[in-house]
Structure 1
Amino acid sequence: MEAHEVKVQVLSDEESWELFKKNAGDVVLSTGIKELAKAVTRECCYLPLAIITVGKAMCGVNDVRVWKNALKELQQSNLEVKGMDDVFVQLKFSYTRLRNSELKSCFLYCSLYPEDHEISSEELIEYWICEGLIDKRETRDDNMNKGACHFG
């Protein structure tokens, strides 16, 4: 079997910012937040997965203090985890920002799947229900609706 090397490049500064804005929303254009959001974007090391993950974690956050704290956490994480892929730093950041232990458990459950495995949301929600990761509702439809909230 012949192997081919494919060079994957990081995004440019402008591409990174556009991707971050798309995932974090218009709040990043607010006075006092824009420069912090750009700094947060740079902490994602121009990596698309990191930018998307952190952008979604910060979506709708309009408190300057929360942005300052997020930037500081990312900077400290980058210093603390020398040698670890930058994406893992942003994933850790996003994980710690999840609202509750239920969401964190559901997030961790996804790590049981092999890399690049296509995961059906309905199948995943069924597993979450069976494992007790989301509280059981009166009907199957209610359970599926509750699980679907975790994808929003």
Structure 2
Amino acid sequence: MRMKHGTMLTATTTIALTVTLTGCTSNDSDLAAQVLDAIPTTSATQVTLELAEIRPGGWDSYLVVCPYETLESVNERLGFTWDDGPDLTLDDAHQILVLTDADAIEEYATLDRNRIDLCTTEQWSLTEKATPITLIEQDGVWTGSPRNDR
């Protein structure tokens, strides 16, 4: 029995999509949604973001990757090589929240900086899971930065 061109294209697309989705790391929109859902919509002007409560699981540290950072810089702070890490060298609209487990990326989420901006000051270091992020609301955007006492 002979396959038609459209059927073969669909099968190839399905296989390619399956391979893409079963990679070791994933850009998890569910993680991004959970982070955004943890931010109050009330009149609060300061909130503590507890990533360990928002996203429990086997990860042990997190890193925020900010615009214009090179993958080499990210790998240096991670302490291992993230081969397929995203490139933000030409992107100032997004940041990436990376959850790690020892020497591997557990998952990551791309966050728009128009609602939450974790890249307003200095570069982030790899941070322990239990360390909260303090967010302050400024002109409709929640901002947070690395704490100096880590």
TM-score (norm 1): 0.24
- Relative contact order (C-alpha < 8 Å, sep 6+): which is higher? 2
TM-score (norm 2): 0.25
Question: Which has the larger share of strand?
Answer: 2
Question: Which has the larger share of helix?
Answer: 1
